[in-house]
Amino acid sequence: MRVCVFLLLLFAGGSWALICKQIGGRMKQIDASNGQVFAVDFHGNVFTRMGGHWARVPGKLGHVTVGAAGVWGVGRDQKLYKMVEGSWAILAGLLKQVDAGGDQIIAGVDRGNNVFCSNKQAAVTAASYSTPAYRRIPGKMKYYSCGPRTCWGVHAVGYIYCRLHIHPVNCIGTHWLGVPGRFQMVEVGTDGTVFAIDRAGVVYRRVGISARRPQGITWARIHFVGRRFRHVTSDLGTLWLVETNGNLIRCH
């Protein structure tokens, strides 16, 4: 496998060098948090990264996520699952995408692009079909991802928004803040870093995120020459990417 250095232009006169390597496996979607990595292939098989290899996890999913609230997933029938004592427990709700990257909250969207979340207490204790309790977030999003203080959503036509003042006991937050750009997905890391992929499969990082400016300042393109991507996630300084054909790239 080739080891290549790609260059991310952060701002005029500055740069960030990434050492990237293609790794084994072909996946549809991937998620990383707290040192764990989970992925789903094009057949719905679930995998986790162990010792430099992919280990099969029993069950079939359309989307998987890992975070402080645990390991969650949604099936192709939109049923919601959580890993409880090594097995998938079916929970309440029907979602097409779920995210566990917040401060022990979960959030997701249903097939009507309605946005929902569960506060920390409800998410952490959820273990049966009658749990968790959900709260509806105003607005419509096709993809929704949370970090420690903010959540980010992508509208059906690609417009992107940042949801402010997210808290473990108030997962709804306070309001949306529009962010320039049009994307197909956005992902927030456990450290608050934000990456996005546009409709052409180009990857961007949001620059200038701070407590004063949680929405950041601008988008910086990561220049992967000749490669196009469908999914991105980051954790502990490592960037994981899925190309449109399912090939996997890992960058440090």
The answer to whether 181 touches 174, Cβ cutoff 8 Å, is no
Task: Say whether pLDDT at 9 is over 50.
Answer: no
The answer to whether 162 touches 177, Cβ cutoff 8 Å, is yes
Order of strands, sheet of 106-109, starting from the edge strand that comes earlier in the sequence: 97-99, 106-109, 114-118, 135-140
As given in the structure block, the two tokens for residue 45 are 């098989």
Q: In the chain, what are the domains?
A: 23-197 (2.130.10.30)
Residues 69-96 have pLDDT tens digits of: 999 999 999 999 999 999 999 999 999 9
Q: What is the pLDDT of residue 15?
A: 56
List of residues 6+ apart from 48 with CB closer than 8 A = 36, 37, 38, 39, 54, 55, 57
Report residue 16's pLDDT band, with 50, 70 and 90 as the boundaries. low
When pLDDT is averaged across residues 109-133 and rounded to a whole number, the result is: 96
- Mean of per-residue pLDDT scores for the chain: 93
As given in the structure block, the two tokens for residue 138 are 């105003």
When pLDDT is averaged across residues 49-56 and rounded to a whole number, the result is: 96
Q: What is the pLDDT of residue 228?
A: 97
Residues 28, 58, 148, 170: is their CA dihedral positive or negative? positive
Cα within 13 Å of Cα(251), Cβ side = 22
What pTM was computed for the model? Answer: 0.93
3-state secondary structure string, 96-115? Answer: CEEECCCCCCEEEECCCCEE
The answer to whether 66 touches 34, Cβ cutoff 8 Å, is yes
As given in the structure block, the two tokens for residue 73 are 């997933």
Q: Which residues of 141-180 are buried (b: 16+ CB within 10 A; e: fewer)?
A: bbbbbbbebbbbbbbeeeebbbbeebebeebbbeebeebe
Residues 134-189 have pLDDT tens digits of: 999 999 999 999 999 999 999 999 999 999 999 999 999 999 999 999 999 999 99
